[in-house]
Amino acid sequence: MKIAVIGTGYVGLVTGVALSEIGNRVTCIDVDPSKVEKLSNGIPTIYEPGLEELIRKNLESGNLSFTAKHQEGLSDAEVVYIAVGTPQRPDGAANLDYVEQAARDIAANITRNVIVVIKSTVPVGTNFHIKDLINKNTKNGIQIKIASNPEFLREGSAVKDTFHGDRIVIGTEDEQTADILAELNQPFGAPIVTTDISSAEMIKYSSNAFLATKISFINEIANLCEAMGANVEEVAKGMGLDHRIGPDFLKAGIGYGGSCFPKDTNALVQLAGNANHDFNLLKSVIEVNNHQQVLLLNKIESRFGSIQGKRVAVLGLAFKPNTDDLRESPAFVMIPKLCAMGADVIAYDPIAVSNAKRQLGTDIDYTEDLHEALNNADFAIIITDWPSVKNADLAIFNTLMKEPVVFDGRNCYALDKVKQATLEYYSIGRPDQAPELIG
Ligand SMILES: NC(=O)C1=CN([C@@H]2O[C@H](COP(=O)(O)OP(=O)(O)OC[C@H]3O[C@@H](n4cnc5c(N)ncnc54)[C@H](O)[C@@H]3O)[C@@H](O)[C@H]2O)C=CC1
Ligand SMILES: O=C(O)[C@H]1O[C@H](OP(=O)(O)OP(=O)(O)OC[C@H]2O[C@@H](n3ccc(=O)[nH]c3=O)[C@H](O)[C@@H]2O)[C@H](O)[C@@H](O)[C@@H]1O
């Protein structure tokens, strides 16, 4: 099929590349000409394992192209995907400005009755609104069909998730559109759930809200474990073996970040409020997460009192490993607070440093070298469980730092290893290895 994808961010780029890989002719459109130029030359604009090879392969075969001109991609498309951002407004609601602009771009440039598929995460009712917006603005009486096809990929494993997903959700108003999209998606091999449009929109928010709930739940249990002398890792293992609970998303830590859980949980609370429903459970999930992100600061304050002038190695800037995405990363909550407390911060990340410099400025030091970060530091804080940090020889904390004091927001190390390495170690929901406990 001839497909146009509007937006080449994490979702649009991976979607467009994957649709070209399964044999469609795909034009990816982005308003940012610098992204288009890079992508047209086979250079990925995001860090995503496996993506570069697929971009290059499909550019070469002619199945994939990139453009900054909407008309080029839209004039002969049969199916058009909208995959632009839906960031959070100050009141928590989803900002639909980009989706509405994409709708106007579609209306101005299509030349036939296309199917418009909304992949962006949008509040219930948005698909109908966008359909009306397009149909009111098309030329020559063209009328589109609309479909909701929410995306469930995770950053850092986006390609794998696309080709080995758990399900594909397709919400439509009619069977014929559902059949066309089911056939288009069939090569991805995942079970296809066809449903009405509002339910499809709701499945996306409910899935993210549920996963965020699991994380906040285990973080609350972790905090209880600390108070009661239990170990949250053992508790999560024991819980997760029950197939009704499952082992995933039970990793306690510094709280969830990223471009979606924070904004989508807030958007669902707003959406519920609009329907006069007070979503208390989800409000608590958000509150627990906000608290979790600064929990380590309390531990740091009780250990040191003042940290004025202390050299702090912040290990990890990305909101999770294998991505250079910094959106809503706990690092961005912690670093300004550490600076306000007078600490001298050096931040380590293997791939996100240049992105971080643009956002955090140059008041702190940055490095892509773990050893340089630890060198002469008074204490270290682990924010992201990068393999380089997780698999590090624990001796480096002793050999490089002034004192081997580590606050671990990701529970990276087994407690017996920590003991062997004689670290002063504070983690989440586990019996801390304070000095008196160290052999
Ligand atoms: N990032 C993720 O892992 C996931 C994101 N989502 C959802 O997918 C949507 C997109 O998210 P991301 O890919 O992260 O966004 P992003 O912000 O990385 O990318 C959006 C892209 O759209 C482009 N754009 C904006 N308006 C445009 C227009 N009118 N025409 C052409 N290009 C335009 C921007 O220049 C940008 O490159 C959001 O609704 C998000 O909630 C869903 C699942 C996973
Ligand atoms: O809508 C979206 O954007 C996407 O949001 C998440 O994907 P993503 O944000 O890429 O990353 P996750 O792997 O889900 O992690 C999110 C955050 O939760 C944290 N997390 C995750 C799992 C866990 O057990 N504990 C935990 O603290 C991670 O460190 C990270 O900060 C969902 O997993 C995807 O299904 C969804 O498509």
In this structure, which residue's CA is closest to atom 8 in ligand 1?
A: 120
Q: Find, among 71, 70, 69, 53, the residue nearest to 17 by Cα.
A: 53
Q: What is the DSSP string of 129-156?
A: HHHHHHHHH-STT---EEEE------TT
Ligand nearest to the CA of 94: 1
CATH architecture of 204-287: Orthogonal Bundle (1.10)
- Nearest ligand 1 atom to alpha carbon 154: 3
Q: Is-contact 396 361, C-beta < 8 A?
A: no
Q: Is residue 424 within 8 Å of residue 404, measured between CB atoms?
A: yes
Question: Which residues 6+ apart lie within 8 Å of 335 measured at CB?
Answer: 314, 345, 347, 360, 364
- CA nearest neighbour of 172 among 151, 200, 150: 200
Give residue for tokens 């696309």: 162
Q: Whose CA is nearest to atom 34 of ligand 1?
A: 7
CA angle 74, 76, 78 (to 5 degrees): 85
Going by alpha carbons, the residue nearest to atom 30 of ligand 2 is 256
Cα–Cα nearest to 107, from 133, 81, 84, 86: 133
Cβ of 6 below 6 Å from ligand 1: yes
Show the ligand 2 pocket: residues with CB < 6 angstroms: 121, 151-155, 208, 211, 215, 249-251, 253, 256-261, 319-320
ipTM over 0.95: yes
- Expressed in angstroms and rounded, the spacing between residue 8 Cα and the centre of ligand 1 is 7
Instruction: Tell me the C-alpha distance between 120 and 123, whole Å.
Output: 10
CATH 3.40.1350.10 assigned to domain 2-195? The reply is no
Q: 428, 245, 398, 413: which is closest to 330 by C-alpha?
A: 428
Indicate which residue's Cα is closest to atom 3 of ligand 2: 260
| Beta strand 79-82 pairing with 115-118 | parallel
Nearest CA to ligand 2 atom 32: 154
* 293-438 shares the fold of 204-287: no
Chain Cα centroid distance, residue 237: 25
Q: Catalytic site residues?
A: 260
Alpha-carbon distance values, 338 to 14, 233, 294, 313, 335 (Å): 36, 28, 10, 11, 5
According to DSSP, residue 434 is labeled -
Instruction: Give the ligand at the shortest distance from the Cα of 108.
Output: 1
In CATH, what is the architecture of 293-438? 3-Layer(aba) Sandwich (3.40)
Give distance in angstroms: CA of 138 to centre of ligand 2.
Answer: 38
Tell me the pLDDT of the chain (439 aa) as tens digits: 999 999 999 999 999 999 999 999 999 999 999 999 999 999 999 989 999 999 999 999 999 999 999 999 999 999 999 999 999 999 988 999 999 999 999 999 999 999 999 999 999 999 999 999 999 999 889 999 999 999 999 999 999 999 999 999 999 999 999 999 999 999 999 999 999 999 999 999 999 999 999 999 999 999 999 999 999 999 999 999 999 999 999 999 999 999 999 999 999 999 999 999 999 999 999 999 999 999 999 999 999 999 999 999 999 999 999 888 899 999 999 999 999 999 999 999 999 999 999 988 888 999 999 999 999 999 999 999 999 999 999 999 999 999 999 999 999 999 999 999 999 999 999 987 554 444 3
Q: How far is the CA of 258 from the centre of ligand 2 (A)?
A: 7
State in Å: Cα 13 to ligand 1 middle.
9
Counting Cα atoms < 13 Å in the Cβ hemisphere of 404 gives: 20
Judge if the beta carbon of residue 16 lies within 6 A of ligand 1: no
| 107 Cβ below 6 A of ligand 1 | no
Return the ligand number nearest the Cα of 208. 2
Ligand minimally distant from the alpha carbon of residue 251: 2
Domain ranges of the chain: 2-195, 204-287, 293-438
Ligand 1 atom 41, closest CA: 121
Segment holding 381, helix H or strand E: strand 379-382
Q: From the alpha carbon of 155, which atom of ligand 1 is closest?
A: 3
